[in-house]
Structure 1
Amino acid sequence: MSVPTSPSSIDNAEQCDIGFIGLGVMGKNLVLNLADNGYKVACFDLDQTKIDAILAQDEEERMVDKPRVVACRSYTELLANLKAPHTIILSVPAGKPVDHVCHHLIDAGVQADDIVVDTGNSLWTDSVAREKKYRGKFVFFSTAVSGGEVGARFGPSLMPSGDPYAWTRIESIWQAIAAKVDPETGKPIESYEPGKPVTEGEPCTTYIGPVGAGHYVKMVHNGIEYADMQLICEAYHIMRVGLKMTPAEIAATYREWNQGILNSYLIEISAEVLDQHDPESGAALVDVIMDKAGQKGTGLWTAVSALEVGSPAQTITQAVFARSLSSFKDERVMASQHLSGPAINMTQSDSKEDVIKQLHDALYCSKICAYAQGFQLMSIAAKEHGWTLDFAEIAKIWRAGCIIRAVFLQSITKAYENNEHLANLLLDPFFIEQINHYQANWRRAIASATIAGIPCPAMSSALSYYDSYRCAVLPANLLQGQRDFFGAHTFSRTDKPEGKKFHIEWNKPERPQVQIKK
């Protein structure tokens, strides 16, 4: 993937290159990112204060005499300020607001060959429905964006999907504003200076596939994000409760971990959070933050999709459940006064340093399983929906810009480059070696936490996933017998072709077996 040059005629152009609707935190920063990369942007928002704010910031940051951002007072004025055919980017809340804007654009005179790009956090099925709904009126295209406000400003990870021809028209724009990585090391090439975008390296964007595929991939990204965050929090909880470590001590541990195989944005910011003092009390901020986790739904969407397509993603799902359970604060406080647990002593048999090392390895192995579940889900969903997903490219575009960016993703990229038909990350030679090397401590960490009564649902589910996946025979044989007993659901035999189905007539004394003809 090469980085394009910015438009050379921008200073002389009377009309704008791109239209942009929605100037919230993400929208404003995406506009400034576009402007930094040489695109002249016409903007519209229903809130005039947001328009005023971006004009002021553009005037403060720009290094050219003429404005890079043009304010518009209506949808009609926005279209009038754009070069034809129009490219219009939306950054509005998912759901009805997207359709509200689309209908106003139709009324304002948008044309059939104009492209409207939804960059919000939309459910992927909504994108599919919109592409059909607006076909013939304009080209509806979707791009999922990850990286938060900083990523939007200086380089996000972009997951576009939709009409292939539309992609050829916006590809150079996306490659310009996306985060960049060193192709050899996989490490981000970063610049946080306005007006000086990164122009070297591989852009963290690639065409994902038909409409909806990009938002599906982003949905799974967020599911992995849920799992990764929960795993880090469980390690923190074990150190805080089981080892009586202070937030500052845990922050130092995370910074040490961030120098090795666990290097990631989430480990980095976790250390920052743990080191922060409360401006009011002076105590560690983490100790005054209420332990009730919020969620916007993408993790739930991932869990639901996994259930719908039959993909085992229990670590992602457990992370969603952990957030749900945290919301029962009053009940948990009451339960803590009545439900007993064991006396906590995690250093009875191992030293504090040993337990920390075990937690490091447990976090790493659990992380591998969470990513394996996410990629397995995408693989099953791709077959279900007729998509062709390039998992090496998907891993590449997650190496920078997005929330789960980590050095670890370079290894995932290599795994799928070596074998594009890899059934599961756990079957890649590198990850086989990694799990074999670190799993003993993984097991010790979970066993110690369990004995001490410290919950670690995501880590435990990751280990169960690994042990189940490597198990040649599971107790589902008894389960099938149970199903056949009460519901005549039939079963396959290990000594017969799997396509042949059998049933025991359980209500008869002799209980004969019959083969079910289909």
Structure 2
Amino acid sequence: MAEAEIGVIGLAVMGANLALNIADNGYHVAVYNRTASRTDAFAASAGALSDRVTACATLEDFVAAIRPPRPVIIMVKAGEPVDQQIAALKPLLDANDIIIDAGNANFRDTMRRFTDLEGSGLTFIGMGVSGGEEGARHGPSIMVGGAEEAWRRVEPVLTAISAKYQGEPCAAWLGENGAGHFVKTIHNGIEYADMQMIAEVYGVMRDHLSMDAASIASVFSAWSKGPLDSYLIDITAEVLKVEDAASGRPIVDIIVDAAGQKGTGRWSVIESQMMGVPATAIEAAVAARSLSAMREQRATAEARFGIPAAQDRRDAQQVIGDLEKALLAGKVAAYAQGFAVMAAASQEFGWNLPMATIARIWRAGCIIRSTFLDEIATAFNENPDVPNLALTPAFSKIIEETDQSLRRVVADAALNGLPVPALASALGYFDTYRRARGTANLIQAQRDFFGAHGFARLDAEGEHHGPWGG
């Protein structure tokens, strides 16, 4: 007799922890992994939760173990493996069963899968899950896209396993088809920018102020008690404190300076460009990760050009004070850009994304969780149609209070050859956004000169051409 209320396919770190989370919240879960030894190992390690876990050796046994209508979570590598798993499941499932892709899928793949499953009787959900290993086990932020009816059927399980912020579940239905995976993509893009700007500030303290890891950790610990309070600031302070057992040095000092990436950051940049919405801080962060991987080329370039000579340094405490405010300004830019991209996608795909809800479900469980998100939720509650967070009263005030600090940090970095691409992009974004008369008039003149593309005039309607050339 089928006992499980839900199933999980894929028992790598995220899938295994999600399955344990489900069992921990009182639901019976069936589990399956293509590699049988992993399924066996998972079952053996379930401990006190084993009575709520049914480990299955075959996909047929897995499907049979779940009570219909069956919700099945797929937690496998994004891309072709998901399509292969869906193809294997389809002949075994019945009408009204729900396939839930909980991996880091490209939302366009999710939309295609919705189309492919039309008429099959099966329902599909694209579900973004944020929080890493710890979040999957004890409560992630969950972003659901698909038919609202399908969400209502699995809502009790998903809200139970999600993170809670002051008792409120960090799980929500965000819109049709690819909405959930798109929001997760932009979440990751903001995460890239946030992490990059933290690294840039760390670099200024390490390379300009000559501070050691423990001293920098103390600064981040202090910042975590102020407006920068967030998970990423907290863990930054923690990792900077840890010493390597083998060498006795701070472990951060022996880690290779080449950052990995799995694609979601690049996807967020591609989609922002496709929609014509600037996300310059995110773009700079993605580019910085790519540059970080070019270690041999960077070493060659340093040998050829050297590092710019240090300029006279301002008082260290003044610099640190500016760094805190600059990081807050950069954070505003990254979130403003991310939410602007989501607003454009919402309009293009007809999702009607609930911006305040997105901010609320990011307040716990996810990697970019911070007290900052309360202010974003409030801003969108007060004005759901605001075109840019920078224009809301709360964030306008932050920009005004941090503007000069951001300028000084970027200027100091430029003079001393310190790379701060994301912070510099944030400054450039703000300066461009708030200037009513920009310089694109010259670009339009150039385009008309070489391509007869035409331009608009300030003093007349219609399209015009210049008096140049043949």
Q: TM-score range by the shorter chain?
A: over 0.9
- Equivalent residue for 1:353, pick from 306, 314, 317: 317
Equivalent-residue separation in structure 1 for 2:83 and 2:164 (angstroms): 32
Equivalent-residue separation in structure 1 for 2:327 and 2:40 (angstroms): 46
RMSD: 1.3
Instruction: Check conservation: 1:243, 1:346, Cα contact below 8 A.
Output: no
Q: Deviations over 1:434-478 (max 9, x none)?
A: 111121111111111111111111000000000100000110001
The Cα of 1:365 is off from its aligned counterpart by 0.4
- The aligned counterpart of 1:3 is none
- Equivalent residue for 2:127, pick from 119, 123, 143: 143
- Equivalent residue for 1:51, pick from 24, 39, 46: 39
In the TM superposition, what are the counterparts of 1:412-431 in structure 2 within 5 Å?
412-431=376-395
- The aligned counterpart of 1:61 is 48
1:142 aligned counterpart, secondary structure: strand
Instruction: Check conservation: 1:346, 1:449, Cα contact below 8 A.
Output: no
Equivalent-residue separation in structure 1 for 2:126 and 2:308 (angstroms): 51
Instruction: Check conservation: 2:39, 2:57, Cα contact below 8 A.
Output: no
Instruction: Check conservation: 2:311, 2:415, Cα contact below 8 A.
Output: no
The Cα of 1:74 is off from its aligned counterpart by 1.3
1:207 aligned counterpart, secondary structure: strand
Is 2:7 aligned against 1:19? Answer: yes
Instruction: Check conservation: 1:242, 1:346, Cα contact below 8 A.
Output: no
Is 2:236 aligned against 1:270? Answer: yes
Instruction: Check conservation: 1:346, 1:452, Cα contact below 8 A.
Output: no
The Cα of 1:505 is off from its aligned counterpart by 4.3
Is 2:357 aligned against 1:374? Answer: no
Is 2:430 aligned against 1:466? Answer: yes
Equivalent-residue separation in structure 1 for 2:86 and 2:12 (angstroms): 18
Instruction: Check conservation: 2:165, 2:364, Cα contact below 8 A.
Output: yes
- The aligned counterpart of 1:507 is 469
Is 2:412 aligned against 1:448? Answer: yes
The Cα of 1:381 is off from its aligned counterpart by 1.6
Instruction: Check conservation: 2:31, 2:62, Cα contact below 8 A.
Output: yes
Equivalent-residue separation in structure 1 for 2:85 and 2:95 (angstroms): 16
Instruction: Check conservation: 1:119, 1:142, Cα contact below 8 A.
Output: yes
Answer with 382-391 or 30-39: which moved more.
382-391
- The aligned counterpart of 2:99 is 116
- Which residue identity does 2:136 align to in structure 1? A
Equivalent-residue separation in structure 1 for 2:23 and 2:383 (angstroms): 39
Percent identity between the aligned chains?
A: 46
1:161 aligned counterpart, secondary structure: strand
User: Higher helix share goes to which structure?
Assistant: 2
1:170 aligned counterpart, secondary structure: helix
Give TM-score, length-normalised by structure 2. 0.98
Q: Deviations over 1:188-216 (max 9, x none)?
A: xxxxxxxxxxxxx1100111101111101
- Which residue identity does 2:417 align to in structure 1? G
- Which residue identity does 1:40 align to in structure 2? H
The Cα of 1:90 is off from its aligned counterpart by 0.7
Equivalent-residue separation in structure 2 for 1:68 and 1:132 (angstroms): 34
Q: Deviations over 1:114-148 (max 9, x none)?
A: 10100011100000101111223211111010000
Query: How many aligned positions are there?
Result: 469
Equivalent-residue separation in structure 1 for 2:26 and 2:460 (angstroms): 66
The Cα of 1:341 is off from its aligned counterpart by 4.0
- The aligned counterpart of 1:514 is none
- The aligned counterpart of 1:212 is 178
- The aligned counterpart of 2:448 is 484
- The aligned counterpart of 1:96 is 80
The Cα of 1:14 is off from its aligned counterpart by 5.4
- Which residue identity does 1:504 align to in structure 2? G
2:304 aligned counterpart, secondary structure: coil
In the TM superposition, what are the counterparts of 1:310-459 in structure 2 within 5 Å?
310-345=276-311, 347=313, 350-459=314-423
2:329 aligned counterpart, secondary structure: helix
Equivalent-residue separation in structure 2 for 1:278 and 1:220 (angstroms): 34
- The aligned counterpart of 2:29 is 41
- The aligned counterpart of 1:156 is 140
2:7 aligned counterpart, secondary structure: strand
The Cα of 1:48 is off from its aligned counterpart by 2.1
Equivalent-residue separation in structure 1 for 2:344 and 2:126 (angstroms): 22
Change (3 A) 1:218 1:225: same
Instruction: Check conservation: 1:85, 1:113, Cα contact below 8 A.
Output: yes
- Which residue identity does 2:332 align to in structure 1? I
- Equivalent residue for 2:153, pick from 160, 169, 185: 169
Change (3 A) 1:91 1:505: same
Instruction: Check conservation: 1:265, 1:404, Cα contact below 8 A.
Output: yes
The Cα of 1:493 is off from its aligned counterpart by 1.1
Instruction: Check conservation: 1:346, 1:448, Cα contact below 8 A.
Output: no
**Structure 1 gap segments, 5+ residues each:** 1-12, 183-200, 509-518
Equivalent-residue separation in structure 2 for 1:266 and 1:459 (angstroms): 17
The Cα of 1:346 is off from its aligned counterpart by 5.3
- The aligned counterpart of 2:261 is 295
Instruction: Check conservation: 2:124, 2:146, Cα contact below 8 A.
Output: yes
1:502 aligned counterpart, secondary structure: coil
2:11 aligned counterpart, secondary structure: coil
The Cα of 1:53 is off from its aligned counterpart by 2.5
The Cα of 1:112 is off from its aligned counterpart by 2.3
The Cα of 1:376 is off from its aligned counterpart by 0.7
- Which residue identity does 1:382 align to in structure 2? S
The Cα of 1:387 is off from its aligned counterpart by 1.8
Equivalent-residue separation in structure 2 for 1:105 and 1:274 (angstroms): 45
